[in-house]
Chain A
Amino acid sequence: MNDRWGELWEKSLRDLYVEAALRAIDDAGVDHIDSMYVACMSSGLFTGQEHVSSLLADYLGVAPIPAVRVESACASGGNALRLGWLEVASGASDLVLVGGVEKMTDVDGSQATLALAAASDFEWEAFNGVTFPGLYAMMARRHMHEFGTTPEQLAAASVKNHHNGTMNPVAQFQMEITVETVLNSVLVADPLHILDCSPVTDGAAAVILCPADQAKKFNSQPVKIAASAVATDAMALHSRESLVTIGSAKAAAEKAYKQAGVGPGEIDLAEVHDCFTISEICLVEDLGFTEKGKGGEFTESGATALDGRIPVNTSGGLKSKGHPVGATGVAQAIEVYKQLRGEAGKRQVKGAKRGLCHNMGGSGGTSAVHILEVM
């Protein structure tokens, strides 16, 4: 990752990516890579640049290796991780770099809103004026209506994630907030306030994958990908069976738990896609950490805090760490990697042996779930 995520006006898309990729290469101690996946949602709308797989292989000095860009909105990183994992598992390559990047602050806020709305069904959602926060706001309104979830319970996710972010030197916002601050912050799309929403962020993240039987050659304490699963769902929120269940998350988690041979009760910590507070509330339900409809109560009770039953978003999550959309899925894996190696500093979950990452695209059209374990 970069030293710190945020509004990085002095750094271009290629600067961000190469910095993170070099750090991954140095950290792994590899002298070459065989192949590269670049997760990036919308370099075109954010910077006018496409074909970034070639650009970044060039600037990283690894051409002529094969490189491909992976795009599935905010789930690009998780999807790239799965493709890298499949390439190593297939035997085609031994050392694969999976990186993610987004340079979001080269356009103004209104253009960024438009670029992010492209992750919805453009013709039948965005065309009719709904923004990306607007879609999640409609999920939140319905969740409140069906289960009695309160604005305070939504805010509790944001407060907890900001608290965790104060202990993460990479985080964009390293400050404590309170439930009152969230509820008094400006409304973006009712009932979501700006402090219910993840920010616009510049940043990149990268990891190196290799076959498990070679990992100890490079690293005395490697981490294993025990499961890698991706699932899709109806693109438009209005076409979903339920407006309050993230079907792709349920489907991907079910596959991942089966692959790893574990259940939600055996997960020591989770990084989940809290692009908005309501998504964390739905996800703790849909990933099986609590019952459907209880996500608000569960979060408010402290069950997902660092010392809770299942610590969620120890990195600060998208809310506090920042959400450079293409990079997020890769950065989630880095947080779990650090936790499993006992390198997470003040935010360390004691004795963590197994962690889950959930990365989501659009309003739930794609979910990627990975389960990582100590080897």
Chain B
Amino acid sequence: MTVARIWRERGRRYRLEAARCKGCGKVFFPGRLVCDKCGSREFEEIRLSDKGKILTYTVIRVPPPAHTYETPYAVAIVELEGGGRITAMVADCDPEKLEIGQNVRVVFRKISQDGEKGIKFYGYKVVPA
């Protein structure tokens, strides 16, 4: 991957920058140019909360190449306080002990890297709160 591909998402991956529709209030992460609910093209820039709850989760035991060395690992869909949902790895946890409804906190972490000598990719994960 090129640096540009990672760099252009820096606000979203590093700071959870999102958008709230001025027409209907729906929160989008990542932001969009048009709201799928009301059709408005006017958005307010917001940042998602770093606190949320697990809506559902799984433990990945057959990984893609980028995550071979950390398997098994947990991934969850998290609903953040004040709106917005993310899919993120759950770090610093015992994957067997996670639960739906559990409180988590968003943290800045290394996600993967582009092969052995490629650039490192950073972004968000969640940890038990």
Residues of A that sit less than 8 Å from B by CB? 109-111, 113-114, 117, 123-131, 133-134, 137-139, 141-142, 145, 186-192, 234, 236-239, 243
A123 to B36, CA, bound (A): 19
Q: Which residues of B contact A (CB under 8 A)?
A: 9, 29-30, 36, 55-68, 73, 75-77, 85-89, 95, 100, 111-112, 121, 123-125
- The 4 A-B pairs at the shortest CB distance, nearest first, are namely A137-B58, A142-B56, A238-B85, A138-B56
- In angstroms, Cα B62 to Cα A110, docked, is 8
- Of B29, B36, B60, B100, which contacts A130 at CB under 8 A? B60
Are the CB atoms of B65 and A131 closer together than 8 Å? Answer: no
With both beta carbons as reference points, the residue of chain A lying nearest to B36 in the complex is identified as A234
> With contacts A134-B58, A141-B58, A190-B58 known, is A237 near B65, CB below 8 A?
no
B58: contacting residue among A128, A138, A239, CB under 8 A: A138
* B contact residues around A114 at 8 Å (CB): 64-65
B75 touching A109, Cβ below 8 Å: no
Flag if A129 contacts B63 (CB, 8 Å).
Answer: yes
Candidates B59, B86, B88; contact of A190 at CB < 8 Å: B59
A126 and B88 alpha carbons, distance in the complex (Å): 10
- Closest A residue to B125 by beta carbon equals A128
Inter-chain contact B87/A236, CB cutoff 8 Å: yes
Question: Which secondary structure dominates chain B's binding surface?
Answer: strand
Bound complex: CA A125 to CA B66 (Å):
14
Residue from A134, A139, A186, A243 within 8 A of B60 (CB atoms): A134
State A99–B122 Cα separation when bound (angstroms).
42
> In the complex, A111→B63 CA distance in Å?
10
Assuming A129-B60, A189-B60, A192-B58, what are 9 further A-B pairs, CB within 8 angstroms? A111-B65, A113-B63, A113-B64, A114-B65, A128-B89, A142-B55, A190-B58, A190-B59, A234-B36
Give Cα A134–Cα B89 distance, bound, in whole angstroms.
11
- By the criterion CB–CB under 8 Å, are B68 and A110 in contact? yes
Decide if B9 touches A123 in the complex (CB within 8 Å). Answer: yes
User: How many angstroms between the C-alpha atoms of A123 and B88 in the bound complex?
Assistant: 12
Contact call A141/B57, Cβ cutoff below 8 A: yes
Closest chain-B Cβ to A259's Cβ sits at a distance in Å of 25
CB distance from B11 to the nearest CB of A (A): 13
Assuming the A-B contacts A127-B123, A129-B75, are A141 and B60 also in contact, with contact meaning beta carbons closer than 8 angstroms in the complex?
Answer: no
Centre residue among A129, A133, A137 by max chain B CB count within 10 A = A129
Determine the chain B residues whose CB is within 8 A of the CB of A133 once the complex forms: 62
A124: B residues at CB distance < 8 A: 29-30, 86-87
Q: Is the CB of A189 within 8 A of B62?
A: yes
Interchain CB contact under 8 A, B88 and A139: no
Contacts of A111 in B (CB 8 A): 65
Q: Is the CB of A128 within 8 A of B100?
A: no
Tell me if A188 and B57 are in contact (CB < 8 A).
Answer: no
Task: Indicate if the CB atoms of B87 and A130 lie closer than 8 Å.
Answer: yes
> How distant is the Cα of A110 from the Cα of B36 in the complex, in angstroms?
35
A189 touching B77, Cβ below 8 Å: no
Q: Whole-angstrom distance between the alpha carbons of A110 and B20 in the complex? A: 38
30 contacts between A and B (CB under 8 A): A110-B64, A113-B62, A114-B65, A117-B64, A123-B9, A127-B112, A127-B121, A127-B123, A128-B75, A128-B87, A128-B123, A129-B63, A129-B64, A129-B75, A129-B89, A129-B111, A131-B64, A133-B62, A138-B56, A139-B56, A141-B56, A142-B55, A186-B61, A188-B61, A188-B62, A189-B58, A190-B95, A236-B87, A238-B87, A243-B56
* B contact residues around A142 at 8 Å (CB): 55-56, 100
Nearest Cβ in chain B — how far from A187, in angstroms?
Answer: 5
Q: Which residue of B lies closest to A197 (CB)?
A: B62
Closest A residue to B58 by beta carbon equals A137
Q: Which of the residues A123, A134, A192, A236 comes within 8 Å of B75, measured between beta carbons?
A: A134
Contact A127 B111 (CB under 8 A): yes
Provide the bound-state CA to CA distance between A226 and B55, in Å.
40
Interchain CA distance A128-B122 in the complex, whole Å: 10
B1 to chain A, nearest CB (A): 10
The residue of chain A having its C-beta at the shortest distance from the C-beta of B99 within the complex is A145
On chain B, the residues within 8 Å of A137 by CB distance are 58
Contact, CB under 8 Å: A129 / B9:
no
**CB-based nearest B residue for A115:** B64
Question: How many Å from the CB of B83 to the closest CB on chain A?
Answer: 12
Is the Cβ of B62 less than 8 Å from the Cβ of A237? no
Q: How far is the CB of A36 from chain B (nearest CB, A)?
A: 33
